């Protein structure tokens, strides 16, 4: 089931998930291929794509354009490039070339370990500890042109866990799929989910008042913790050999990182009033909010949020699945963009992640985004939210060669990803038989098709 069904329907699902989990667990024991995938040889040093419609995402579209890739980086882009004669040429006549699609809100490949829903404040959870790099969802997303994902904690907790940024190099081992040196992000939530999860257990929080109070209290604890460490460090600096280090507390360590600005704060938040409250609390405690996720009511207050330099990662047109999604309108993204908010589209779903390009295409319809603006919502803008826009998200010299070749205009319904390159290496090729994965020959896992639209599945 994809859309959030009435709660009682969902009771059937854990059974299915247990069955699937058992099946995959057994598969792993029985089939050694699960643990030893083949890996293809290294990619060519130079590749040149010729005669493509190049949608750069940063500087417009180049008709009959060429892109030169050298050693995994983009070395040239334009109507002509200075690629060496021995570069592997890809004739892209009649095809479109875009940056790899980037999803700033995914819960794929976490084997249902999305929410540590045992406390409303769990900042020391690290999603990498649950990352299953063989989940079929990664492959299915790759086949839809997705090259980078931010795998987030769910929204059960006001302060959730720390995200992991991956490059969708299906077939490589776990650590080879991590985005090198990516900035850390932490997931916060607000609204219905935390208050429902804890309220249903008669715990704090059970209201939006409780939600925000839990958050403030956590930061008060963190301030005290920081002060004790600052005091200790000052003593050490003065040469005080008797200084006793405070006890390390992983939870408070993580919160201190938020207050010190070391983690990007990604907040699950729907309602206009809550954006304002979240910004006020951020000001009060001195951190910045990188992005509001879902953000379905941003169109109501976009002019107030734009000066905060907080982006949004929103749905194209999902609505109505819960009360706080009742005022969602499909013009939200473009209206907010016109007010100066940086806008990305995201999946929050193993389904929609496979066709984020179409979600971008809808923005041409809903609000009249230009094709350039639309493609940016699934490439450069999500790259900014994740903090990897210096490395990927557009076709510019020096950036990683994360590229997708499409048979039709990627903003249309009809586009299929033909080839997907990450760091200049071919990870998906639709013309190949079987899975079309040059690097993956093993057996995939199935975590049951996560499809929740607001990150609360897996509870």
Partner 1 sequence: MKKLIVIALLSAAPLFLSAADAPKKTIAITGARLLTVSHGIIENGTLVMADGKITAVGESGKVTVPSNAEVVDAHGMTVYPGLIDPETNFGLLEIGSDENTTDTAEPSDEIMPHMRVADAFHAETELIPVARLNGITNAVVAPASDDTIAGQDIFIQLAGADRDAMILGRDVALAMNFGAEQRRRGSHSAFPSTRMGLITQLRQSFFDAQDYMAKRDAAAKKDEKPEAKKDDKAESKKDDKSDTKKDDKADKPFKRDLKLEALIPYLKGERPVVIGVYEGYDIETIMKVAQEFHLKVILNHVTHSQEVLDKIAAYKVPVIVGSIYDFPRANERFDAVYTLPAELAKRGVKIAISSADAGGPVSSHSSRNLPYAAGFAVAYGLPYDEALKAITLNVADMFGFGDKLGSLDVGKTANVVLANGDPLDVRTSVKQVYIDGAAVPMVSRQTQLRDEYKK
Question: Which residues contact partner 1 by CB under 8 A?
Answer: 1-9, 11-12, 15-16, 24, 136, 139-140, 143-144, 192, 299-300, 303, 317-323, 326-331, 335, 338-339, 349-351, 354-355, 358, 361-362, 364-365, 408, 411-416, 434-436, 443-446, 449, 451
Least separation, in Å, of the C-beta of 410 and partner 1?
Answer: 11
Q: Which two tokens stand for residue 397?
A: 């010299």
Q: What is the DSSP letter of 62?
A: E
CA dist 33 and 274 (Å) reads 48
What letters, b where the CB count within 10 A reaches 16 and e where it falls short, cover 17-38?
A: beebbeebeebeeeeeebeebe
Least separation, in Å, of the C-beta of 7 and partner 1?
Answer: 7
**Which C-beta is closer to partner 1: that of 18 or that of 88?**
18
**Which C-beta is closer to partner 1: that of 160 or that of 451?**
451
Shortest CA distance to 410 belongs to which of 457, 375, 453, 454?
375
**Which C-beta is closer to partner 1: that of 221 or that of 339?**
339
**Dihedral of alpha carbons 373, 298, 325, 451, sign:** positive
**Which C-beta is closer to partner 1: that of 393 or that of 449?**
449
Q: What is the DSSP string of 256-317?
A: HHHHTT-SEEEEEE--HHHHHHHHHHHHHHT--EEEEEE-TTHHHHHHHHGGGT-EEEE-SS
Q: Which two tokens stand for residue 455?
A: 């990150």
Q: Write down the residue that tokens 């020959």 correspond to.
A: 441
**Which C-beta is closer to partner 1: that of 5 or that of 84?**
5
What angle do the packed helices 208-237 and 272-285 form, to 10 degrees?
Answer: 20
CB within 8 A of 450, min separation 6: which ones? 107, 108, 110, 112, 114, 137, 349, 350, 457, 458
Least separation, in Å, of the C-beta of 67 and partner 1?
Answer: 24
What's the maximum distance between 2 C-alpha atoms anywhere in the chain? 72
**Which C-beta is closer to partner 1: that of 123 or that of 455?**
455
Q: Write down the residue that tokens 């803008």 correspond to.
A: 381
Least separation, in Å, of the C-beta of 369 and partner 1?
Answer: 10
**Which C-beta is closer to partner 1: that of 81 or that of 142?**
142
Least separation, in Å, of the C-beta of 128 and partner 1?
Answer: 22
Least separation, in Å, of the C-beta of 454 and partner 1?
Answer: 10
Least separation, in Å, of the C-beta of 394 and partner 1?
Answer: 22
């Amino acid at each position: 089931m994809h859309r959030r069904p009435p709660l009682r329907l969902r009771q059937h699902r854990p059974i299915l998930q247990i069955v699937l989990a058992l099946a995959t667990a057994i598969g792993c024991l029985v089939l050694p291929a699960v643990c030893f995938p083949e890996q293809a040889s290294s990619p060519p040093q130079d590749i040149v794509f010729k005669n493509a419609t190049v949608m750069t995402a940063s500087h417009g579209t180049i008709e009959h354009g060429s892109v030169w890739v050298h050693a995994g980086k983009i070395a040239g882009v334009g109507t002509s490039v200075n690629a060496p004669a021995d570069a592997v040429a890809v004739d892209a006549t009649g095809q479109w070339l875009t940056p790899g699609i980037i999803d700033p809100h995914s819960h794929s490949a976490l084997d249902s370990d999305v929410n540590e829903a045992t406390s409303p404040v769990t900042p020391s959870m690290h999603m990498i500890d649950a990352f299953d790099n063989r989940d079929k969802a990664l492959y299915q997303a790759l086949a839809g042109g997705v090259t980078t994902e931010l795998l987030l904690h769910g929204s059960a907790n006001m302060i959730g866990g720390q995200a992991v940024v991956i490059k969708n190099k299906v077939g490589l081992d776990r650590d080879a799929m991590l985005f090198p040196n990516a900035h850390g992000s932490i997931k916060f939530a607000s609204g219905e989910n935390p208050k429902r999860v804890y309220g249903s257990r008669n715990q704090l929080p059970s209201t939006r008042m409780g939600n925000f109070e839990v958050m403030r209290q956590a930061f008060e604890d963190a301030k005290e913790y920081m002060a004790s460490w600052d005091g200790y460090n000052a003593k050490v600096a003065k040469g005080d050999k008797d200084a006793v280090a405070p006890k390390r507390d992983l939870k408070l360590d993580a919160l201190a990182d938020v207050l010190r600005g070391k983690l990007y704060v990604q907040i699950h938040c729907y309602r206009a009033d809550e954006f304002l409250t979240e910004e006020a609390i951020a000001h009060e405690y001195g951190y910045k909010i990188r992005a509001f996720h879902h953000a379905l009511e941003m169109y109501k207050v976009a002019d107030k949020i734009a000066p905060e330099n907080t982006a949004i990662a929103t749905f194209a047109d999902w609505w109505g699945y819960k009360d706080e999604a009742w005022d969602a309108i499909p013009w939200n993204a473009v209206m907010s963009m016109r007010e100066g908010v940086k806008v990305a589209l995201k999946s929050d779903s193993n389904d929609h992640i496979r066709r984020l390009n179409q979600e971008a295409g809808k923005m041409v319809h809903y609000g009249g985004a230009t094709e350039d603006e639309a493609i940016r919502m699934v490439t450069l803008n999500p790259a900014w939210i994740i903090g990897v826009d210096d490395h990927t998200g557009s076709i510019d010299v020096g950036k990683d060669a994360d590229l997708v070749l499409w048979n039709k205009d990627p903003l249309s319904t009809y586009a299929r990803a033909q080839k997907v390159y990450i760091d200049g290496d071919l990870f998906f090729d639709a013309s190949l038989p079987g899975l079309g994965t040059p690097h993956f020959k093993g057996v995939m896992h199935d975590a049951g098709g996560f499809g929740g639209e607001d990150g609360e599945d897996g509870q």
